[in-house]
Amino acid sequence: KNEVEQSPQNLTAQEGEFITINCSYSVGISALHWLQQHPGGGIVSLFMLSSGKKKHGRLIATINIQEKHSSLHITASHPRDSAVYICAVRRGGADGLTFGKGTHLIIQP
Amino acid sequence: DTGVSQDPRHKITKRGQNVTFRCDPISEHNRLYWYRQTLGQGPEFLTYFQNEAQLEKSRLLSDRFSAERPKGSFSTLEIQRTEQGDSAMYLCASSLRDYYGYTFGSGTRLTVV
């Protein structure tokens, strides 16, 4: 079992829908990241969380440390949100990130 | 300095050849990371530098892989005697000393033929 599991692996939705991507992890962490990767490889850091909730524009990220679970929400989704969304954790005592496999999101107009 | 730069963007090499990639981090970032990403998978951690010191190496980093950061600024990742299984996107990231977040480069895509 991977240390970081994401669901769903693939998600296709219509423009305007509310999107939720889930991440569960099985190790102790000091921080959790949500990243966005577009075709061609470029990775953009969206959020870094150690507790609670963060919001940036139409994106909301939450984390429940006790349940070892995080969610990324996109409100009023738009075709430009189409990308791979990756959850990554920084394990306590380590410096490198451990990544999930990503969720491939397609928003259709 | 607008971000993390990686060079080259693409590299095609014949099996058995050596290749070297370069990463220029954000200038004030003292931490630098190398990751490898294969098709359909999330990135995997390879190694990490704090200034010029290589502090952590993954088991994925075989003897054919070596990374340096000689002056605590840019870093190079060399793969000797490349194999087809080395074909992947090699990503570099940097972060601040007290760790705020990561900035990723666009990656170097290696194809071994």
In the predicted model, is pLDDT for residue B5 greater than 90? yes
pLDDT higher at B64 or A97: B64
Cβ atoms of residues B33 and A96 within 8 Å: yes
SS (H, E, C) B21-64: EEEECCCCCCEEEEEEECCCCCCEEEEEEECCEEEEECCCCCCC
Q: How many helices (H) and strands (E) does chain A have?
A: 0, 11
B68: helix, coil or strand? strand
With CB atoms and an 8 Å threshold, state whether A96 touches B102.
no
Cβ atoms of residues B72 and B30 within 8 Å: yes
- What would the mean pLDDT of B106-111 be, rounded to a whole number? 94
Q: What is the pLDDT of residues A61-88, one digit of tens each?
A: 999 999 999 999 999 999 999 999 999 9
Report the alpha-carbon distance of residue A72 to residue A65 in Å, rounded: 15
- What would the mean pLDDT of A38-63 be, rounded to a whole number? 90
Neighbours of B1 (CB within 10 A): 10
Q: Which of A43, A48, A54, A90 to mutate to test the interface with B (most CBs of B within 10 A)?
A: A43
Cβ atoms of residues A3 and A25 within 8 Å: yes
Q: What is the pLDDT of residue A96?
A: 80
Omega prior to A109 cis, within 30 of 0: no
SS (H, E, C) A37-57: ECCCCCEEEEEEECCEEEEEC
- What would the mean pLDDT of A102-107 be, rounded to a whole number? 96
Q: How many CA atoms lie within 13 A of A38 on its CB side?
A: 11
Q: What is the pLDDT of residue A53?
A: 95
Contacts of A66 (CB under 8 A, 6+ apart): none
Q: Give A96 to chain B, closest Cα distance, Å.
A: 6
Residues of A with a Cβ under 8 Å from any B Cβ are 4, 33, 35, 40-45, 48, 86, 88, 94-102
Q: Give B83 to chain A, closest Cα distance, Å.
A: 22
Report the alpha-carbon distance of residue B77 to residue B65 in Å, rounded: 7
- What would the mean pLDDT of B65-76 be, rounded to a whole number? 93
Question: Which residues in A lie closer than 8 A to residue B98 (C-beta atoms)?
Answer: none
In the predicted model, is pLDDT for residue B71 greater than 90? no
Q: Give A43 to chain B, closest Cα distance, Å.
A: 6
